[in-house]
Structure 1
Amino acid sequence: MYRTLITRSCLPRIYSKLDLHLTTLKPAEVSNKDVQQKPSASLTDEVKFDHINKTGIILLNKPKALNALSLSMVQQIYPKMKEWESDGKTELVIVKSTSPKAFCAGGDIKALLSKTSDGERLRNEFFREEYKLNNLTGNYRLPYVAMINGITMGGGCGLSVHGPFRVATETTTIAMPETAIGLFPDVGGSHFLPRLPNNLGVFLGLTGYRLRGIDVLHAGIATHFVPSDRLEEVERRLVELPKANYNSVKEVLDKSSQSAIQSQPPFSLQEQLPLINRLFSINTKDVETIFEQLKSDGSEFASKQLSTLEKMSPTSLKLTFEQLKRGQKLDLKDCLIMEYRMVQNVMNGHDFFEGVRSVLIDKDNKPQWKPNTLKGVSDKEIEGYFSKLSSTDDLRL
């Protein structure tokens, strides 16, 4: 695991390396072609599909952008998964990347930055379609295996963590770093984060801390661990199953993972788990109390987390903490409906656009958050982010 924290100096590396396609961004760069791209046999397709024996395979194929999810990608994946789910010819679905560097680095947000009416329309459509896909993966009737090899952040987590099988490798890097750009851990983050043990989800959601390799399994995000050079072998065994169901898929993955885990180190956060569990408890009154606890703790670990949190959007921190509190009591469907309401309100605010400008566009890493203190963010304001949308605008799942 990375032992360095997400500080002012390394925040740009989280995003600039993951979304290099944003560096030449122009707000008007949104075309009908981007929105309505159709599947074809071209090698330049952002998503490719294959079907071997009784296994449907989704290949994320946008390596230059580290497979950042676009609306067109989501619009291709969702109907194909629905088709496989009911065609009677498919028993298993595997999603993976054609790039060894990344499974999926998040959502492709370039079209979301325009404050024009077209930008608003695309934001609404992108999040609606993405959350529908997240809900489908979490409620899929076929075994669903995500090979989370390489960078897996934001939207990449949404495409993987809700399924029953998530296979990490030594190259896997997982994070939900949205508070650094004025957003919150969406794509079902309100469902899976508060369910991680030892309040790790609260810690990860607020700080954006990166888990790497075997730590992804230790944290409970991955279900299995396999060395990257054995992924093809594991996939072959899955595809060759005479009958693919939950138990037979699990048996293949269990055997492959058990032998690999023996040579891996223990959880790099093992010694800090008691601190994390106490300092980031979801039962804490509010984020201000978490700050106070970190200040009074006095440990080096607590000081580093405090330094990290002080650079995040105050609104995002308070919004995220409330989101996780509510999410622990909701199923995935209701979490996604809640997040859709939240994201629509965030997109009408200031901090998201300012965070993206600072970290991804100008790269000055000096976001001017409004408000710029936790005290300046009222409970009433946070409550407003959860307000229901009109019946025509709300997310339907």
Structure 2
Amino acid sequence: MALSFKFDTEPINQVLFGGNSSVKLVILNRPHKLNVLNFEMVSQILKHLRMYEDDSSVKLVILKVFAMPEAHIGYFPDVGASYFLSRLPGYFGEYLGLTGTRLDGIEMAACGLATHFVHSTKLNALENALQAITSSNVSTVSALIETFTEKPTVKQDSPFKRLEIINKCFSKGTVEDIIQSLENELENGAEEKWITNTLSSMRFSSPMSLKIFLKSIRKGRIENIEECLYRDYNIACHLNRRTVSNDFYEGSRAKLFDKDKA
């Protein structure tokens, strides 16, 4: 059966570039597609980053909006996710990759995905301060960001407050065992709403994607970033060639193009 894709009109500039002579801005500009990168965007970013790298006057690059909707579209968390997610506390990385849960800034700072939390009302001031910086020294940049940083408390309904049950369930060896463990907890009366939402999210995803990611993140725990990126590229090539499954193409159609979510 042939697939028919309905393409929305793309913005003329899918990546915006700005800044000044010493600080450069790279802004993803494809919001209606969750800022998913395409070849044109990657080519533009690579071209500019190479120019900045060869320019001694450039001290800092600010990259702005990103998204990782992988498992829900038949893909998997790639670009090194098996490396950085596997290094989060306990099995929180498994939980994030298998459920596609979105974190706010406070949660990202709490679990270690971000180094600083800055309130949205201070972001423009921080950006202006960074654009005025004249040094590329990491300590100098970090000290400047620290002056805008807050240390808010993680909300009680945050998944990061549920590390005990996450570690218990998401430490299992297979996707089926994780689901069974969550169902057992649900039967025992634990965290009914949270577990129901977690199971619903996993069942909405491609089973193949979940299995690929679980095996990948487990390998990532004992590998370096280069090994994780190599594996990600290898898996991505197979998914794009439809070697094993058509899930990625069908998931992209349902979520990103036709948007019928079927």
TM-score by length of 1: 0.57
**Does the CA-based 8 Å contact 2:182-2:199 persist in structure 1?**
yes
Q: Using the TM superposition, give the Cα deviation of residue 337 of structure 1 relative to its aligned residue in structure 2, in angstroms.
A: 1.2
Structure 1 residue 70 corresponds to structure 2 residue 38:
yes
CA contact (8 A) 2:88 2:111 kept: yes
Task: Mark the CA change 1:252 to 1:190 in structure 2 (over 3 Å): closer, same or farther.
Answer: same
Which residue of 286, 295, 310 maps to 2:203? Answer: 310
Shift of 1:265: 4.7
- One-letter identity of the residue aligned with 1:345: H
Task: Measure, in 2, the Cα distance between the counterparts of 1:87 and 1:289.
Answer: 52
In structure 1, the residue matched to 2:115 is: 223
Q: Which residue of 1 aligns with 2:6?
A: 24
Alpha-carbon spacing, 1:276–1:46, altered in 2? closer, same or farther (3 Å): same
Bigger shift: residues 199-208 or 82-91: 82-91
The answer for the alignment partner of 1:353 in structure 2 is 249
Number of residue pairs aligned between Structure 1 and Structure 2: 250
Identify, as 1 or 2, the structure richer in strand: 1
Residues 94 and 214 in structure 2, CA contact (< 8 A), matched pair in contact too: yes
- Find the counterpart in structure 2 of residue 271 from structure 1: 161
Asked if 1:153 is matched to 2:47, the reply is: no
Query: What amino acid sits opposite 2:104 in the alignment?
Result: R
- Select 1:92's aligned residue among 45, 52, 60: 60
Describe how 1:255-266 pairs up with structure 2 within 5 A.
Answer: 255-257=147-149, 260-262=150-152, 265-266=154-155
Residues 1:329 and 1:57: Cα distance change in structure 2 (over 3 Å) = same
Evaluate the alpha carbon distance shift between residue 210 and residue 358 of structure 1 in structure 2; reply closer, same or farther with a 3 A threshold.
Answer: same
Q: Using the alignment, how far apart are the partners of 1:89 and 1:315 within structure 2?
A: 47
**Residues 202 and 324 in structure 1, CA contact (< 8 A), matched pair in contact too:** yes
Pairing 1:143-292 to 2, within 5 Å after superposition: 152-154=66-68, 177-257=69-149, 260-262=150-152, 265-266=154-155, 268-281=158-171, 284-292=172-180
- How far apart are residue 318 of structure 1 and its match? 1.0
Q: Which whole-Å CA distance do the structure 2 matches of 1:59 and 1:208 have between them?
A: 23
Deviations 1:57-95 (A, max 9, x none): 223334554544221121111122122223221221112
| CA pair 364-24 structure 1, distance change in 2 beyond 3 A | closer
Go from structure 1 to structure 2 and tell me whether the alpha carbon gap of 1:95 and 1:327 turns closer, same or farther (over 3 Å shift). Answer: same
Structure 2 length-normalised TM: 0.84
- Distance in 2 of aligned mates of 1:305 and 1:66: 22
Structure 2 equivalent of residue 49 of structure 1: 17
The equivalences for 1:328-347 within 5 A come to 328-347=221-240
Contact persistence 2:135–2:141 (CA under 8 A): no
Q: Would the aligned equivalents of 2:60 and 2:136 in 1 still touch at CA under 8 Å?
A: yes
For the structure 1 residues 50 and 274, does the alpha-carbon distance in structure 2 shift closer, same or farther, using more than 3 Å as the test? Answer: same
C-alpha displacement of 1:364 = 4.5
Change in Cα spacing, 1:81 to 1:44, as seen in structure 2 (3 Å) is same
> Which 5+ residue runs of structure 2 have no aligned equivalent?
none
CA distance in 1, matches of 2:58, 2:169: 46
CA distance in 2, matches of 1:57, 1:191: 26
Structure number with the bigger relative contact order (C-alpha 8 A, sep ≥ 6) is 2
Contact 2:111 2:160 in 1 (8 A): no
Other structure's SS at 2:6 match: coil
Higher helix share: 2
Aligned CA distance change for structure 1 residues 201 and 353 (closer, same or farther; 3 Å): same
1:362, distance to aligned residue in structure 2 (A): 4.7
1:295 CA drift (Å): 1.7
- 1:10: which partner in 2? none
Cα deviation, residue 49, structure 1:
2.6
